[in-house]
Structure 1
Amino acid sequence: MRRRGFTLIELLVVIAIIAVLVALLLPAVQQAREAARRSQCKNNLKQLGLALHNYHEQSNMLPLGNIASAEWGWGASWYIRILPQLDQGPVFNKLNFNGTQPGWAWNGDASGGNNGAALSGVRLGVTVCPSSPLKDMRSAGDYNIAHPQYYGIMGATNGNGFTNPSNRLASVGGCCDSQAAAGIVSGGGSFGPLLGVGFKDLVDGTSTVIVVGESSSPIWSAPLAAGGSKTVDVQGVHGILMGSPTLSSVEGCPGCQFDRQFNLTTVRYSPNAQAVINDVANWPGISDNYGVNKPLNSQHTGSINVLLGDGSVKTINDSINMLTLRQLCTRDDGGAVGDF
């Protein structure tokens, strides 16, 4: 007796059932994958926090936003100082801080001590959010330099600069206008060029001061109505190496002028703000390689991850009150932030 095969209708029914099951299961699988990526992102920040605490234990302060020996030059970033704490001691020992521009990575410029060559090809997974579409390495001439996706927090501003002290939200460092894309640089946070801050200086409490924030998503090349797309990486080509110019000290700020800041940001905009590159009129402080008010953003739906001074990691919703966010980014404003 011959077995009867499936009819066409039966096959179509089976295919339809499989398609429905896939449609139902795929979002759950995607959500599970994103949850794992978000968890890894938070773990990255915890590892950075541990490295910063170990550095602080040895130096009694957090690393400077830049490291340079000359009167003027591009200093190396705070990331460079914690390389030994990130199990990259051999790489750190190859770096030369006696050059006039130790933060310069491009093509072995002698003034930079050829630090680009020492860092070329060195990947630091702990500095990269796995949800990010941005490149973790970028070319600086002949070298491939790691590009971190977490920024040290210099402080915050409400956009009024230092002309109105009552709006500074920082009683120690204050803010100064910056020439970089009409941005504003603050000295009221945890990091700053030539500004050594210790945990004792986080007088608002280490559990209520953001030390490092996530900036792992592209921003808009132009407004959507003008044909823009969300594709721009705001990190410069020097990546993890570059900090800021030596003279960019914000403490006291007498007659100061500011230039670009790398691996640092002064918080000015809400998390995941739909920022547009080089639009000084509407989005001052944001540029493709020298903005000082780079937005905190991520590919995590509706939120970003941040590292607090006590080493804990917190998820901040996009809807956070901006006053609360500014207070969290300022070490000594005295504001009571409550739950956030």
Structure 2
Amino acid sequence: MTIVGRSSGKTAGFTLVELLVVIAIIGVLISLLLPAVQQARESARRTHCSNNLKQLGLAAHNFESTYGHLVWGARDGLLTDLTTECCTALTVEGWTWSFHFLPFIEQQHLYDLADYDDPAGTQDIVAQNFVEGFFCPTRRAPTPYGSGSAYRCDYAGNAGERTQGNVRNSSNLGEHGVIRHRNNTKGELTIERIRDGSSNTIMFAEKALHPEAYGTEGGDNERWNNSGWDEDNIRFGSHVDSSDNVTPLPPIADRDAPNPNDSWNFGKASLGYNGTYGEWQPYFGSSHSAGINAVLADGSVRFIPFTIDGTAFQNACLADDKQTFSWD
């Protein structure tokens, strides 16, 4: 005869202590994995940003092949009258390098939106279109700003050294940089005429912007197709004052960039926001944790750390100083 035992009525389960232990283990695992996930995401964003600059480098080379010279940084404004607004779109030809690159980055349809008979009237129409290649995904999501709902650009051309503070000064036309003003004294620039070598000279890089002033500060308050010799389009590797004293301007993190919403004087008042020179933003920089992406004149992309020697970065931004340096 088989005897079947009676159930005690109790079921197996976790005790409160066991549940707390499991929860604690899960919490520890999340705390260990989250930084790795965040790091992987930032690595992907940085790679995306690097690819954007690679495309700008290719566009610059294709532009040169088509027109016989590198793109100008600006084409309007009367240098004999420095009170003239720097950013008016008197002609479509006066729009900045980002617009003139459109046919070379598969954006011909946006290029064709410009009306040569009404340039000022169509500037916002063009700028209301988002161009993925002009945005760094680490910095911000694509965001239109202002009454014109215009997008911005997170990259700037290398204008060399910044003289006399104001970038509209007639003595500061980017002669020693790569992206120059149309009226610079040295004329058109080609890759072959970069005396320091195309692999040693920055062409485009990320521009510094304070997080509290995205879309509003002097270096980010204009549409991506903004015209004029303007800080929305260009940045510098060094500053030269009226006494010819040179101060390197190494790349900085966005959090360290001049902020027009605060009083800013960290021993660099003549280099950033102040009443004398106006709200001009001179620095290259980024929202990445350790440095900036830059495309060199040979088309290669390099990640430049914030810790780079200031003089070395200055040399990398000057196309004709004949100085050797190390990227490390």
TM-score normalised by length of structure 1: 0.74
Q: Is the 8 A contact 2:219 2:231 kept in 1?
A: no
Query: Given the alignment, which residue of 235, 244, 247 partners 1:265?
Result: 235
Task: Report the secondary structure of 1:315's partner residue.
Answer: strand
TM-fit CA distance, 1:61:
1.2
Residue in structure 1 matched with residue 104 of structure 2 by the alignment: 85
Structure-2 change in CA distance of 1:179 and 1:47 (3 Å): closer
TM-fit CA distance, 1:180:
6.7
Query: Unmatched 5+ residue regions in structure 2?
Result: 1-6, 89-93, 239-248
Query: Unmatched 5+ residue regions in structure 1?
Result: 103-111, 162-175, 222-229, 246-259
Q: How does 1:205-216 map to 2 (within 5 A)?
A: 205-215=197-207
| Matched residue type, 1:270 | P
Query: Are residues 1:147 and 2:131 paired?
Result: no
Residue in structure 1 matched with residue 316 of structure 2 by the alignment: 328
CA distance in 2, matches of 1:97, 1:199: 29
Aligned-residue Cα RMSD (Å) equals: 3.0
Task: Report the secondary structure of 1:144's partner residue.
Answer: coil
TM-fit CA distance, 1:296:
1.3
1:134-180 Cα distance to aligned partner (Å, 9 max, x none): 754222x3x222201010010025xxx4xxxxxxxxxxxxxx55277
Larger Rg: 2
Q: How does 1:119-158 map to 2 (within 5 A)?
A: 119-133=126-140, 136-139=143-146, 141=147, 143-157=148-162
Residue in structure 2 matched with residue 284 of structure 1 by the alignment: 270
Q: Is the 8 A contact 2:252 2:286 kept in 1?
A: yes
Query: Are residues 1:25 and 2:33 paired?
Result: yes
Structure-2 change in CA distance of 1:325 and 1:297 (3 Å): same
Q: Is the 8 A contact 1:219 1:232 kept in 2?
A: no
TM-fit CA distance, 1:53:
1.1
| Matched residue type, 2:272 | I
CA distance in 1, matches of 2:108, 2:305: 36
TM-score normalised by length of structure 2: 0.77
Query: Are residues 1:67 and 2:91 paired?
Result: no
Query: Given the alignment, which residue of 219, 228, 235 partners 2:219?
Result: 235
TM-fit CA distance, 1:95:
1.3
Q: Is the 8 A contact 1:266 1:293 kept in 2?
A: no
CA distance in 1, matches of 2:106, 2:206: 22
Structure-2 change in CA distance of 1:204 and 1:98 (3 Å): farther
Q: How does 1:155-194 map to 2 (within 5 A)?
A: 155-157=160-162, 161=163, 176-178=164-166, 186-194=174-182
The alignment covers a number of residue pairs equal to 285
Query: Are residues 1:48 and 2:93 paired?
Result: no
Structure-2 change in CA distance of 1:133 and 1:236 (3 Å): closer
CA distance in 1, matches of 2:78, 2:327: 44
Q: Is the 8 A contact 1:154 1:186 kept in 2?
A: yes
| Matched residue type, 2:11 | R
Structure-2 change in CA distance of 1:277 and 1:15 (3 Å): closer
Identity of aligned residues (%): 28
CA distance in 2, matches of 1:192, 1:6: 72
Q: Is the 8 A contact 1:180 1:291 kept in 2?
A: no
| Matched residue type, 1:203 | R
Residue in structure 1 matched with residue 91 of structure 2 by the alignment: none
